[in-house]
Structure 1
Amino acid sequence: MSFRARVHAICKPLPGAEKSDPWGGGHDAWKVGGKMFACIGATLPGVSVKTADVETASMLIDAGVGIKAPYFHRSWINLPESTETPELSHRICTSYDIVRAGLTKKAQAALPAREEA
């Protein structure tokens, strides 16, 4: 299974998750409530995800989990394509949960509940 297919398989079942290509050229931007939680670039390998804060991103980068996500805020990291599926799923779902929690209460209420794995 390709890396994009693995990311797609993790993101698609998340409640309210939608994929778009906002910049054209083959980006996969996964959003919930119109806010991005995962992005695969057109040329850079890997997937960029949001972390809880800059400190968490820095710790994950120092631990070798990922690298700084180019073009994103410092609270985002880019996970390499070699990331094992359990870790990839954990990081994507954590990003989704962070972004979803930041939505308005009305937007959150409009989304189905998320089943915890």
Structure 2
Amino acid sequence: MSATVLIADDEPNIVISLEFMMKREGHRVLVARDGAEALEAIRRERPALVLLDATMPVHSGFEVCEAVRADPAIRDIRILMLTAKGRETDMARGLGAGADAYVTKPFSTRELLEKVREMLA
């Protein structure tokens, strides 16, 4: 099952490992390195899933998530927030902004892949 997955993260090492995992799963991968690029890619490409970092330059992941949910053309796109911000208030903010799931870094590769499969099913 091939889907388009957008990785929106400004940390090169995270992007490399996520890209490798998603391609190994057979997905088409797009990369955005800041919030503005992420929004642009979401509007242009309409990915099946966005792996979204909370802290990025230009627009935060929270702002990107809110913008996606506010736009009727793209509001149904699945968003998995993937972030080092692990406090309960951060999780509540991410889910409140409209994220479908919230995973904290460092993350278990196996658990992340299970979550991605579940969200794309």
TM-score by length of 1: 0.42
Higher relative contact order (Cα pairs below 8 Å, separated by 6+ residues): 1
Normalising by structure 2, we get a TM-score of 0.41
The higher radius of gyration belongs to: 1
Q: Normalized per residue, which structure has more helix?
A: 2
